[in-house]
């Protein structure tokens, strides 16, 4: 994600207000330091927080956990299974704001399951089946709890089908996360779900630790366009006043990166100069920006493919909608720009996320700098590539911020759930990479970035893994550098003279 400058300013004001609240003081106190040093140690426990297996005293089947085990977002995601594929068949009528859907979720049980949860907010569930048999369910808050007719063995593949409908209600959190999820607009919907808004439009395991492939079947009134991730798997079909669009993202994708953005759109399709299929779309209000979005997205995709390693997906592009989100989101293969014509830096940022955030996804939200620090650093690299400020100059300008600047008191290596998108996670995260580059040299640094994206392509990553790879490839003890830049609540010394 990247917020525009106006929103950065308003968030900065809110941050200074929140700096006085007791919860924030606790987070910056001793416990914050302890958590920070722990973040450099090994990850504890299994990634999904699942219970011990094979104990003779444990029943063969147990309820799946209501959360995936991210202590900062305890209700997000779910335990006990791993989703492989979502097939989302939705119909949306902009005039009535009515959505009806059939979500088919293919998963593998990671424990014996007597019941399990899906995340779903605000919509009404009509029916649930598991492997074709009607299942019992209850919907409590944002948790849909499913009890299959027969319990599910550990390791078994199972398919859950959920029929649901209603008026989608986006999540609204103006002080921290903004408005996100399925956001109805005059002509359709703007669908940008970071961090946990996928649950506002489909039932799933709504956390980036569980990635899956997606098929979308989206039916809208004739004359309206639906743009999702990946490629169109069939030509649109119009019948009886409705048009059905089919999209497929065949590479694993985090739920928050899925989109089904609906409205009046002008499209431009082709390939990048380097040969990657390219689709740009713009609301007619942004007709004048469509050409630039198309050309720039192609140029940036090709350049990052040289710098970061091969482009991970089968198509690229972008969508400008007329919803005034005040942010852009790196929706997989097709970033969304909410209500503005994106400048170079934002396109460079969102397309860098295709490697850092989308192909390589974080395992816990606290490691968000692995997305935002890298995408911010990409903005600096792009400026230098185009003959603007060098990365050194950009770094120096940020380092010159006074000691009282909030980025020095907020260590970016531990993103806080009540201030997830703090500018430190972006700017000081980017500075961390520049400090690393100065410590290990350009050759090793860029080889490290390409090795990082190749090793963990389509997977999940942690800060510990990045630090370990950087140390292995450079042969240096980088603990003090990462500690100073990511985990200390003060301004580190500058490696740039
Ligand atoms: Zn971003």
SS3 sequence, the chain? Answer: CEECHHHHHHHHHHHHHHCCCHHHHHHHCHHHHHHHHHCCCCCCCCCCCCCCCCCCCCCCCEECCCCCCCCCCCCCCCCCEEEEEEEEEEEEECCCCEEEEEEEEEEEECCCEEEEEEECCCCEEEEEEECCEECEEEEECCEEEEECCCCECCCCEEEEEEEEEECCCCEEECCCCEEEEEEECCCCEEEECCCCCHHHCCCECCCCCCCEEEEEEEEEECCCEEEECCEEEEEEEEECCEEEEEEEEEEEECHHHCCEEEECCEEEEEECCCCCEEEEEECHHHHHHHHHHHHHHHHHHHHHHHHCCCCCCCCEEEEEECCCCCEEECCCCCCEEECCCCCHHHHHHHHHCCCECCCEEECCHHHCHHHHHHHHHHHHHHHHHCCCCCHHHHHHHHHCCCCCCHHHHCCCCCCECCECCCHHHHHHHHHHHHHHHHHHCHHHHHHHHHHHHHHCCCCEECHHHHHHHHHHHHCCCCHHHHHHHHHCCCCCCCCCC
Q: In what order do the strands lie in the sheet with 178-184?
A: 171-173, 178-184, 189-192, 260-263, 225-228
Give me ligand 1 centre to Cα 156, in Å.
Answer: 36
Give me ligand 1 centre to Cα 357, in Å.
Answer: 8
Q: What is the mean pLDDT for each group of 10 consecutive residues in the chain (497 residues)?
A: 56 35 32 33 40 65 98 98 98 98 98 98 98 98 98 98 98 91 97 98 98 98 98 98 98 98 98 98 98 98 98 98 96 98 98 98 98 98 98 98 97 97 98 98 98 98 98 98 98 90
Closest Cα to residue 83, out of 198, 218, 247? 198
Give me ligand 1 centre to Cα 349, in Å.
Answer: 6
Cβ–Cβ under 8 Å, residues 180 and 197:
yes
How far apart CA 214 and CA 216 sit, in angstroms, is: 6
Give me ligand 1 centre to Cα 329, in Å.
Answer: 7
Q: Write phi, then psi, for 422 (nearest 5 degrees).
A: -60, 145
Cβ–Cβ under 8 Å, residues 249 and 213:
yes
Give me ligand 1 centre to Cα 98, in Å.
Answer: 31
Give me ligand 1 centre to Cα 375, in Å.
Answer: 6
Give me ligand 1 centre to Cα 128, in Å.
Answer: 36
Give me ligand 1 centre to Cα 402, in Å.
Answer: 25
Give me ligand 1 centre to Cα 434, in Å.
Answer: 17
Give me ligand 1 centre to Cα 76, in Å.
Answer: 20
Cβ–Cβ under 8 Å, residues 365 and 195:
yes
Cβ–Cβ under 8 Å, residues 192 and 236:
no
Give me ligand 1 centre to Cα 354, in Å.
Answer: 10
Instruction: State whether the Cα torsion 390-393-399-401 is positive or negative.
Output: negative
Cβ–Cβ under 8 Å, residues 191 and 147:
no
Cβ–Cβ under 8 Å, residues 195 and 99:
no
How far apart CA 468 and CA 201 sit, in angstroms, is: 38
Cis peptide leading into 154, omega within 30 of 0? no
Give me ligand 1 centre to Cα 350, in Å.
Answer: 6
Instruction: State whether the Cα torsion 74-75-76-77 is positive or negative.
Output: positive
Give me ligand 1 centre to Cα 264, in Å.
Answer: 26
Give me ligand 1 centre to Cα 431, in Å.
Answer: 15
Give me ligand 1 centre to Cα 147, in Å.
Answer: 38
How far apart CA 25 and CA 19 sit, in angstroms, is: 7
How far apart CA 261 and CA 328 sit, in angstroms, is: 13
For Cα atoms 464, 465, 471, give the angle at the middle one, nearest 5 degrees: 90
Give me ligand 1 centre to Cα 335, in Å.
Answer: 10
Q: What pLDDT shows up at residue 55?
A: 57
Assigned token pair, 366: 């606290």
Give me ligand 1 centre to Cα 348, in Å.
Answer: 10
Give me ligand 1 centre to Cα 376, in Å.
Answer: 7
Q: What pLDDT shows up at residue 67?
A: 98
Strand-pairing partners, residue 124, are: 165
Q: From the CB of residue 62, how many other CB atoms can be counted at a distance below 10 Å?
A: 17
Assigned token pair, 279: 């689709």
Give me ligand 1 centre to Cα 426, in Å.
Answer: 8
How far apart CA 227 and CA 315 sit, in angstroms, is: 13
pTM of the model: 0.90
Give me ligand 1 centre to Cα 232, in Å.
Answer: 26
């Amino acid at each position: 994600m990247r917020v525009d400058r106006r929103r950065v300013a308003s968030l900065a004001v809110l941050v200074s207000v929140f700096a006085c609240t007791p919860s924030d003081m606790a987070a910056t106190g001793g416990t914050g330091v302890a958590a920070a040093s722990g973040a450099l140690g090994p990850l504890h426990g299994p990634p999904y927080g699942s219970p011990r297996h094979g104990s003779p005293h444990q029943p063969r089947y147990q309820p799946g956990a209501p959360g995936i085990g991210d202590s900062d977002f305890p209700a997000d995601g779910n335990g006990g299974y791993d989703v492989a594929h979502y097939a989302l068949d939705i119909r949306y009528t902009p005039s009535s704001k009515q959505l009806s859907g059939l979500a088919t979720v293919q998963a593998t049980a990671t424990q014996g399951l007597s019941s399990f949860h899906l995340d779903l907010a605000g919509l009404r569930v009509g029916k649930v089946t598991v492997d074709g048999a009607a299942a019992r369910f209850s919907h409590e808050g944002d948790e849909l709890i499913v009890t299959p007719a027969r319990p599910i063995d550990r390791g078994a593949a199972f398919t859950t089908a959920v029929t649901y409908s209603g008026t989608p209600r986006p999540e609204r959190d103006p002080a921290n996360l903004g408005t996100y999820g399925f956001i109805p607009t005059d002509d359709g919907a703007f669908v940008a779900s970071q961090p946990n808004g996928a649950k506002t439009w489909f039932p799933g395991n709504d956390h980036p630790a569980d990635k899956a492939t997606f098929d979308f079947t989206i039916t809208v009134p004739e004359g309206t366009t639906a743009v999702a991730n990946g490629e169109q798997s069939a030509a649109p079909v119009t019948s009886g006043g409705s048009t059905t669009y089919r999209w497929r993202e065949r590479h694993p994708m985090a739920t928050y990166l899925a989109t089904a953005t609906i409205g009046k759109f002008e499209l431009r399709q082709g390939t990048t100069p380097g040969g990657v299929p390219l689709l740009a779309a713009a609301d007619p209000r942004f007709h004048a920006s469509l050409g630039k979005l198309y050309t720039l997205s192609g140029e940036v995709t090709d350049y990052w493919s040289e710098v970061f390693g091969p482009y991970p997906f089968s198509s690229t592009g972008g969508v400008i909608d007329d919803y005034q989100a005040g942010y852009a989101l790196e929706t997989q293969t097709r970033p969304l720009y909410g209500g503005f014509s994106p400048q170079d830096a934002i396109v460079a940022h969102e397309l860098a996320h295709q490697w850092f955030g989308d192909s390589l996804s974080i395992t816990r939200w606290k490691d968000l700098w692995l997305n935002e620090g890298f995408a911010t650093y990409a903005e600096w690299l792009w400026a230098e590539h185009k003959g603007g400020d060098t990365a050194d100059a950009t770094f120096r300008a940020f380092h010159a911020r006074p000691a009282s600047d909030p980025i020095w008191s907020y260590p970016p290596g531990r993103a806080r759930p009540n201030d997830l998108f703090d500018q430190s996670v972006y700017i000081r995260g980017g500075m961390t990479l520049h400090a690393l580059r100065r410590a290990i040299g350009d050759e090793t640094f860029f080889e490290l970035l390409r090795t990082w994206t190749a090793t963990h392509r389509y997977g999940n990553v942690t800060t510990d893994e990045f630090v370990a790879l950087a140390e292995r490839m450079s042969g240096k003890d980088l603990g003090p550098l990462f500690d100073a830049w990511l985990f200390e609540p003060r301004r580190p010394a500058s490696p740039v003279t």
